[in-house]
Amino acid sequence: MSIFVNKETRLLVQGITGREGQFHTRQCVAYGTNVVAGVTPGKGGQKMDDIPVFNTVKDAVRETGANCSMIFVPPAFAADAIM
């Protein structure tokens, strides 16, 4: 398997304001991952540990240049988050 994450990766976290999203985002940052944005609908404009939160992936990518996504959303919303 190829390694897709490297020092150039600009990660956005979908579901960053939830319990699991916050936990895993903090772990990624502690290990040196460049987390540039989070996405939680309805919570745009907030920050989570100095990481800006956006309402949509489109807005987050446009503003930050994110090129990779990590998803932590409830099962009922997973399909929409992935698509």
- 7 vs 60, higher pLDDT: 60
Residues making up the chain, counted from first to last: 83
- Distance from C-alpha of 37 to C-alpha of 12, rounded to nearest angstrom: 5
Q: What is the mean pLDDT of residues 45-51?
A: 97
Does pLDDT of 3 surpass 80? no
Domain 11-74 CATH class label: alpha beta
Listed by start position, the domains of the chain span: 11-74
Q: For residue 4, give the 3-state DSSP assignment.
A: coil
Mean predicted lDDT score pLDDT of the chain: 94
Question: Which residue has tokens 């745009």?
Answer: 44
- 82 vs 23, higher pLDDT: 23
Collect all residues with Cβ–Cβ distance below 8 Å to 29 and sequence separation of at least 6.
35, 49
- Distance from C-alpha of 72 to C-alpha of 17, rounded to nearest angstrom: 9
